[in-house]
A and B are shown apart, each in its own frame.
Chain A
């Protein structure tokens, strides 16, 4: 009897849950796809940080040359190219 009542309750009480709309998947959700996203992000950040380090090194070198004052052309110096 209790089992039957439980069945009725389940049928009428929660049946709408099976009909409800599922949320729209706004990004790939399978474990493989998620792993690919994380992996790509790791490579992407390695690239970003690498570029920043290269630019920083280049900037330091430019500032070192500028500190000697040898980057400035003399007013009457001939153009050598």
Chain B
């Protein structure tokens, strides 16, 4: 059956004309900042890489604390191309989180969250949070001493939240401390719960983007150079970028596979100069700036409360930025967006260098 026959076979049974009309009616505005539109597509492409490499790794990984570390060593040393798939999964995760941060901060500064796209922004920020949790839960799969200490610090930090902190800590750890139970739990989150939520949220996010159309920054509303059809023009540009990103991930994965540390020992002291993954460094550095005690209160708890409020404000920003919602320029929220971006970048660099 050649392509034309297959096409007519399909068209005899299904009415694809509305779908074709929809694709033809989808246009993307061209302006000074339209390059940022592509970050969402790149993030989605990297998600696909993560799904594929994750499925391959899950065939061989054993989520039991006695053998988890050994199973990874076996994947890397005994399986054909196992080292490459693990490396691809590792670097794909790093790049997808980086792309999501770029996507989020560009949306924030260009105020694409404004009315009527509040839900697009909220689903996007939840997806960013889920991706970070993907990173944390995937990190523990390694079951080496660094991952063990990092998860102990991260879940311990959440425990400082008033009222619900201890419940969340206990729920995440599956006990009072990080143990084999935590590994089983994190594995369940990593391979079933989080992918399921991600698929649903990505679906809603994309549907909402289709429903509202692509947002144009307020400053560019009168500067639009024209509209390009999404299919095929923008899709072809997306394809070229995806190929470049795929090339970069594969090259980094082949040339710089991630190390495997010593097997985690719950009774051993944490290794010296331990640092979390780069996307937690801004939080880690913020916590370091707070003294142990502020006016008789636990300094870490105050830091965690302040960080939680800052994150909540970030998620709910479309509801605070009234001026943008009315279609007016709001310099204050541009500066807030720049401040969030600079804070994240500077704190991550300080955390990396210190």
| Chain A residues with a Cβ under 8 A of chain B | 21, 23-28, 37, 40-41, 44-45, 48, 51-52, 55-56, 58-59, 62-63, 66
Are the CB atoms of B237 and A45 closer together than 8 Å?
no
Q: B76-101 vs A: 1/0 string, CB under 8 Å?
A: 11000001100100000000000000
Known A24-B76, A26-B76, A44-B250; judge A56-B240 contact (CB<8 A).
yes
Q: Which of B104-112, B184-192, B255-263, B312-320 contacts A (4 or more CB under 8 A)?
A: B255-263
Cross-chain contact of A24 among B73, B232, B240, B244 (Cβ < 8 A): B73
Known A44-B250, A48-B246; judge A27-B257 contact (CB<8 A).
yes
Are the CB atoms of B83 and A55 closer together than 8 Å?
no
Asked if B247 is at the interface (CB within 8 A of a chain A CB), the reply is yes
Q: How far is the CA of A58 from the CA of B73 in the complex (A)?
A: 45
Cross-chain contact of B232 among A37, A45, A62 (Cβ < 8 A): A62
Residues of A within 8 A of B247 (CB): 44-45, 48
Are the CB atoms of A59 and B259 closer together than 8 Å?
no
Residues of A within 8 A of B84 (CB): 27
Residues of B within 8 A of A66 (CB): 229, 233
Q: Is the interface of A mostly helix, strand, loop or mixed?
A: helix
Quick one: closest A residue to B259, CB to CB?
A: A26
Interface centre among A24, A25, A37 (most CB of B within 10 A): A24
Q: 8 Å CB contacts to A: which residues of B200-253?
A: 229, 232-233, 236-237, 239-240, 243-244, 246-247, 250-251
Residues of A within 8 A of B199 (CB): none
B256 to chain A, nearest CB (A): 9
Closest 6 CB pairs of A and B: A26-B257, A48-B247, A27-B257, A59-B236, A24-B260, A27-B83
Residues of B within 8 A of A59 (CB): 232-233, 236-237
Q: How far is the CA of A37 from the CA of B254 in the complex (A)?
A: 7
B296 to chain A, nearest CB (A): 47
B82 to chain A, nearest CB (A): 10
Are the CB atoms of B244 and A27 closer together than 8 Å?
no
Residues of A within 8 A of B76 (CB): 24-27
Are the CB atoms of A52 and B233 closer together than 8 Å?
no
Quick one: closest A residue to B261, CB to CB?
A: A24
A77 to chain B, nearest CB (A): 15
| Chain B residues with a Cβ under 8 A of chain A | 73, 76-77, 83-84, 87, 229, 232-233, 236-237, 239-240, 243-244, 246-247, 250-251, 254-255, 257-260, 262
Interface centre among A23, A51, A59, A63 (most CB of B within 10 A): A59
Q: How far is the CA of A45 from the CA of B258 in the complex (A)?
A: 22
Known A27-B83, A45-B247, A63-B233; judge A55-B77 contact (CB<8 A).
no
Are the CB atoms of A26 and B236 closer together than 8 Å?
no
Interface centre among A21, A28, A40 (most CB of B within 10 A): A28
Residues of A within 8 A of B239 (CB): 55
Quick one: closest B residue to A59, CB to CB?
A: B236
Known A41-B251, A48-B244, A52-B243; judge A26-B237 contact (CB<8 A).
no
Interface centre among B233, B244, B247, B262 (most CB of A within 10 A): B247
Interface centre among A45, A55, A62 (most CB of B within 10 A): A55
Q: How far is the CA of A45 from the CA of B251 in the complex (A)?
A: 9
Residues of A within 8 A of B229 (CB): 66
Residues of B within 8 A of A44 (CB): 247, 250
Are the CB atoms of B254 and A52 closer together than 8 Å?
no
Residues of B within 8 A of A52 (CB): 240, 243-244
Residues of A within 8 A of B233 (CB): 59, 62-63, 66
Quick one: closest B residue to A45, CB to CB?
A: B247
Quick one: closest B residue to A24, CB to CB?
A: B260
B96 to chain A, nearest CB (A): 19
Are the CB atoms of A26 and B83 closer together than 8 Å?
yes
Q: How far is the CA of A58 from the CA of B244 in the complex (A)?
A: 17
A64 to chain B, nearest CB (A): 12
Quick one: closest A residue to B260, CB to CB?
A: A24
Cross-chain contact of A26 among B240, B243, B260 (Cβ < 8 A): B260
